Amino acid sequence: SYSLSLSFPLPFPLLYHTIMDKLRKDKPGGANKKLKKFFEKGASLSSRFKSLVAYIEKATEEELAKFFEDNFHVIYGVFTDTFSSYENQCKRGRHDAGILKDLLTVLRCVLELMKDLLGKGWQNRSIATVLEKVLYIENKHSFRKTAFELLMKFLQEVKQTDLVGAAINLGPLTAKYNSNINLMALPLSAPDKQGILLPSSGSVTIQESVELFEILLSFLAQANSPKKDDEIFLFWWDLLKQQYLCVFYPSIWPEKTGPGKIGFPKCPEEIQAVLITCLQSLIREKGIMECMFKGDDDKRLILEIFRQSIALHVNFDDTIKK
């Protein structure tokens, strides 16, 4: 488990006055007017965070890019301090969907606008910790879904696979099988009730798990279009195999899963249906076959996926026809 570094200095006086001078010159009602509280000396953390969110909602893409480039340390400090404050609030039983939504909005901007820094290791541990806590299965699915998408964006920049295997709860998919299914990783779960950021009204469902898996597949597909990037595509293809496909099709990698010890006897039909739909579109692309069929294991895997697709229940008739 990673630890957050939540102590950041306020802007230097020179930076503060430079920005405030610029704000005074801006036209009233402009996006920069939203930043007044953000840089105001003595302003509360809550006021600064609200000011930041208001600016993000108002600013253009160009303005946001420049603002984050110039002030990323301050922005991230306000973000992490607010996240820590919200955690303490949750421990007292006070949950707020609005604050959590705004926190994820700011984090999305960090991931999309600070890619170069992320690739160099900047705040990787801290960001991973935040995402892990939002992904706890006890949290509301809509927020877990957003956090999972952000995790994918994060991993694409840092090229790590931490958290992925535990981010999707495969437990609901095991209910249909008579035998016990051993999984490679337990789902991310809050250590206690105080660690829940926004309580879910029920247990994770099959559909919710499939939705997260579809997000993972979408990143695999996006790496192939509109401009194919073999390196990124292979990153997602390898991640998919190592974290999930080896569990859904354990017979392909007996040395990893152990004969009959880990994985499903047959891939869950809900997963099979969305997976074959994704692969069916990918293999039509020029050059993609060379990326996907790197070795004998890949060939056996693709054949097994198509073989099991033919045996799907009649409810998946449209998928079988593909």
pLDDT, tens digit (0-9, with 9 covering 90-100), for 236-277: 999 999 999 999 999 898 776 555 578 999 999 999 999 998
pTM of the model: 0.85
Supply the range of the domain harboring residue 34. 1-134
Q: What is the pLDDT of residue 60?
A: 94
Collect contacts of 124-129 with beta carbons under 8 A, ≥24 apart. 124/158, 124/160, 125/2, 125/3, 125/5, 126/2, 126/4, 126/5, 126/76, 126/80, 127/154, 128/2, 128/154, 128/162, 128/163, 129/1, 129/2, 129/3, 129/4
Say yes or no: 62 and 172 in one domain.
no
Say yes or no: 186 and 312 in one domain.
yes
Say yes or no: 217 and 307 in one domain.
yes
Say yes or no: 175 and 301 in one domain.
yes
Residue 228 pLDDT level (bands cut at 50, 70, 90): low
Say yes or no: 124 and 60 in one domain.
yes
Say yes or no: 95 and 231 in one domain.
no
Domain assignment of residue 153, yes or no: no
Q: What is the pLDDT of residue 97?
A: 98
> Which of 119, 134, 149 is at the close of a domain?
134
Say yes or no: 113 and 178 in one domain.
no
Q: What is the pLDDT of residue 27?
A: 47
Residue 322 pLDDT level (bands cut at 50, 70, 90): low
Q: What integer is the mean pLDDT of 167-178?
A: 92
Q: What is the pLDDT of residue 20?
A: 44
- Is the predicted pLDDT of residue 23 greater than 70, yes or no? no
* The total number of structural domains that make up the chain: 2
Say yes or no: 187 and 275 in one domain.
yes
Residue 59 pLDDT level (bands cut at 50, 70, 90): very high
